[in-house]
């Protein structure tokens, strides 16, 4: 008898059906075998396949991994954009009990170097376009034994490591490779998250946590994906597991559209319309690029029904443009790598649905409510619980089957409080409707005269100034108040502005004592590897004050 059913007969219960991610693709192949995956190839063309086909090919890759000596628990890395082959690789690796470690190609070399060695990755499965990264890195990564290129291998070696093309590797391999049959608490995936200080930290997902995250996020409170949806997976698979979409869309047998390398407004628009996409998820920047492109070219969206926007705060202008001009419902979501990643969504509860439109719109701007499977609390600095009154800001802490317990290979460092909650590092409120709102990041707070100022809130308002492309607020030292806010603005191309224009724009919208002491116009905003504002670098640049 297999692991899957072994314990059931003994105690007169339900079957012990192990929650392992391979079952997701097996289900899709059996019951939605003809459902399509459309991938953007590097040359811009669209290739098409089905769940039935990628399951067969994934099992062939599993066979090749086993033949190459890959064993349970081994880390196999991917360095790739969103394509059908990348999806195959995920299931092939996890299906045999190895761990799929998604590498973020946007990280700096020294971070990638640290991550590959820390994870002790044995193989790296990479897009050929990333060959130069591997050439630079692999001489310093003795753990890596083999490189597999998701296409033709540009050379027989990569940084001194033997390299092979994906198609030649899987050709002739068995399609019957057995998947699963190991404990559901076994590791399935690994993702590193950049800390604000120090080295990146590894978040190791179990099969059970990923299957539960899939079930949780497929509900109407979150993604609400069904087999009738066509899902454009814009958020990269190396960024917090593409928010779990390779699992959730597959579990539903939804058509999956994979954008490859092209995430610009024109390419995303072409996929949305050309593939009749109904649902998508991405960070605000991607949507802003799309809307800018559509406005410039007087285009409309005809099939998209719902988008999940998260990763950073969603500006009101984005929600309004999607809703009012294109009839697209925006769900604002929040989460983090350590949470698999989704924790909340702004989907209205029945109580909220009955509220006046203006109140509902205001709530939609918040990060939203938790789902079953995520416990959340806010606490003061001493860990005492704060009320859900929408006013008191505190540390947001979470607990659940998809929340981290310890970082990978840092098992001796406790990251939970006495009640088992993980501190997200975010600061926020929870209102009487259960809507959580991020007001800041813990390390980002500006504490002025003992009181907190929300840099995020000032930024969000300043970013709505018609001349602003991006806005950032950081704390700068002040002899009396310890810290005061500084507003940094990157103007739209061709625009000129004075500090007074921005201060006047903020006047009346924020408390007087929140008013930035100075406004500085910058040519460039430093962005981190995932496209988010790098406040650490900004703070370092302005450590001496507004003069920089
Ligand atoms: P990551 O692990 O890279 O996905 O980053 C997670 C962090 O991004 C969270 O802890 C938040 O600080 C931030 N974040 C994610 N979603 C949102 C959101 N909707 N609004 C504001 N911040 C967000």
272-281: pLDDT as tens digits: 999 999 999 9
- Protein residue with least CA distance to atom 7, ligand 1: 336
How many CB atoms lie under 10 A from the CB of residue 228? 10
Among 190, 222, 287, 311, the mutation site with the greatest number of ligand 1 atoms within 8 A of its Cβ is 311
CA 189 / ligand 1 centre spacing (Å): 20
Residue 131: its pLDDT value, please? 97
Ligand 1 atom nearest to 530, measured from its CA: 3
Residue 283: its pLDDT value, please? 85
Ligand 1 atom nearest to 310, measured from its CA: 19
Ligand 1 atom nearest to 313, measured from its CA: 20
- Protein residue with least CA distance to atom 4, ligand 1: 336
CA 245 / ligand 1 centre spacing (Å): 17
Cβ atoms of residues 501 and 467 within 8 Å: yes
Residue 445: its pLDDT value, please? 65
Instruction: Express each pLDDT in 192-234 by its tens digit.
Output: 986 444 578 999 999 999 999 999 999 999 999 999 999 999 9
List own/partner pairs for 463-471 with CB under 8 A and 24 or more apart. 463/315, 464/315, 464/316, 464/317, 465/489, 465/497, 465/501, 465/502, 465/505, 466/492, 467/491, 467/492, 467/495, 467/496, 467/497, 467/501, 468/492, 468/502, 469/493, 470/525, 470/533
Ligand 1 atom nearest to 240, measured from its CA: 4
CA 493 / ligand 1 centre spacing (Å): 28
CA 339 / ligand 1 centre spacing (Å): 11
The pLDDT of 149-168, averaged and rounded, is 96
Q: Is the pLDDT of residue 261 over 50?
A: yes
Q: Is the pLDDT of residue 408 over 90?
A: yes
Q: Is the pLDDT of residue 379 over 80?
A: yes
Among 286, 438, 454, the mutation site with the greatest number of ligand 1 atoms within 8 A of its Cβ is 438
Q: Is the pLDDT of residue 542 over 50?
A: yes
- Pairing type for strands 146-149 and 306-309 reads unpaired
Task: Using only the alpha carbons of the chain, give its radius of gyration.
Answer: 24
Q: From CA 322, how far away is CA 317, in angstroms rounded?
A: 9
Instruction: Express each pLDDT in 24-63 by its tens digit.
Output: 999 999 999 999 999 999 999 999 999 999 999 999 999 9
The length of the chain is 548
pLDDT band for position 10 (50/70/90)? low
Residue 6: its pLDDT value, please? 62
- Protein residue with least CA distance to atom 22, ligand 1: 312
- Protein residue with least CA distance to atom 15, ligand 1: 311
Q: Among 56-60, 103-107, 242-246, 475-479, which is the least confidently predicted range?
A: 475-479
User: Which residues make Cβ contacts (< 8 Å) with residue 411, sequence separation at least 6?
Assistant: none
Residues recognised as catalytic: 193, 338, 447, 452
Q: Is the pLDDT of residue 1 over 60?
A: no
Residues within 6 Å of ligand 1 by CB = 193, 240, 310-313, 332, 334, 336-337, 341, 367, 424-426, 438, 441, 530
Q: How far is CA 281 from CA 244, 246, 248, 307, 415, in A?
A: 11, 12, 12, 5, 29
pTM of the full structure: 0.86
CA 310 / ligand 1 centre spacing (Å): 7
CA 298 / ligand 1 centre spacing (Å): 32
Q: Is the pLDDT of residue 4 over 80?
A: no
């Amino acid at each position: 008898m297999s692991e899957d059913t072994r314990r059931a007969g003994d105690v007169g219960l339900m079957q012990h059906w192990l929650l392992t991610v391979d079952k997701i693709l097996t289900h899709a192949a059996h019951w939605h075998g003809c459902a399509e995956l459309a991938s953007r190839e590097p040359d811009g063309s669209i290739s098409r396949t089905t769940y039935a086909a990628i399951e067969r090919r994934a099992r062939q890759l599993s066979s090749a991994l086993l033949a190459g000596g890959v064993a349970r628990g081994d880390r196999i890395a991917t360095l790739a954009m969103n394509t059908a082959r990348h999806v195959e690789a995920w299931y092939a690796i996890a299906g045999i009990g190895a761990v799929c470690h998604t590498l973020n190609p946007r990280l700096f070399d020294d971070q990638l170097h640290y991550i590959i060695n820390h994870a002790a990755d044995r193989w790296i499965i990479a897009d050929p376009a990333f060959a130069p990264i591997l050439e630079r890195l692999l001489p310093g990564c003795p753990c890596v034994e083999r490189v597999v290129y998701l296409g033709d291998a540009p050379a027989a070696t990569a940084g001194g490591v033997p390299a092979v093309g994906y198609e030649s590797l899987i050709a002739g391999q068995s399609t019957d490779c057995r998947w699963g049959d190991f404990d559901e608490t076994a590791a399935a995936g690994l993702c590193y998250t950049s800390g604000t200080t120090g080295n990146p930290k590894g978040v190791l997902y179990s099969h059970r946590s990923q299957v539960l995250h899939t079930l949780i996020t497929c509900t109407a409170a979150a993604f609400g994906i069904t087999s009738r949806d066509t899902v454009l997976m814009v958020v990269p698979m190396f960024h917090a597991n593409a928010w779990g979409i390779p699992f959730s869309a597959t579990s539903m047998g939804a058509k999956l559209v994979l954008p490859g390398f092209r995430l610009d407004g024109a390419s995303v628009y072409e996929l949305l319309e050309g593939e009749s996409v109904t649902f998508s998820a991405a960070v605000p920047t991607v949507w802003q690029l799309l809307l800018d492109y559509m406005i410039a070219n007087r285009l409309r969206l005809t099939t998209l029904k719902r988008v999940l926007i998260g990763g950073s705060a969603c500006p009101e202008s984005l929600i309004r443009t999607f809703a009012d001009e294109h009839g697209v419902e925006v769900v604002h979501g929040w989460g983090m790598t350590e949470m698999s990643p989704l924790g909340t969504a702004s989907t209205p509860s029945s109580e909220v649905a009955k509220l006046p439109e203006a109140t509902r719109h205001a709530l939609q701007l918040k990060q939203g409510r938790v789902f079953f499977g995520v416990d959340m609390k806010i606490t003061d600095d001493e860990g005492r619980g704060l009320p859900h009154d929408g006013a008191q800001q505190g540390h947001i802490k979470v607990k659940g089957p998809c929340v981290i317990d310890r970082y990978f290979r840092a098992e001796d460092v406790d990251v939970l409080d006495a009640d088992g909650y993980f501190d997200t590092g975010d600061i926020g409120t929870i209102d009487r409707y259960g809507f959580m709102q991020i007001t800041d990041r813990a390390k980002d707070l500006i504490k002025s005269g003992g009181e907190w100022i929300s840099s995020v809130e000032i930024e969000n308002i300043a970013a709505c100034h018609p001349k602003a492309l991006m806005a950032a607020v950081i704390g700068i030292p002040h002899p009396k108040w310890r810290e005061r806010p500084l507003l940094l603005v990157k103007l739209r191309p061709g625009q000129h502005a004075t500090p007074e224009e921005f201060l006047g724009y903020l006047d009346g919208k924020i408390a007087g004592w929140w008013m930035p002491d100075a406004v500085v116009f910058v040519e460039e905003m430093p962005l981190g590897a995932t496209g988010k504002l790098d406040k650490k670098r900004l703070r370092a640049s302005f450590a001496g004050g507004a003069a920089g």
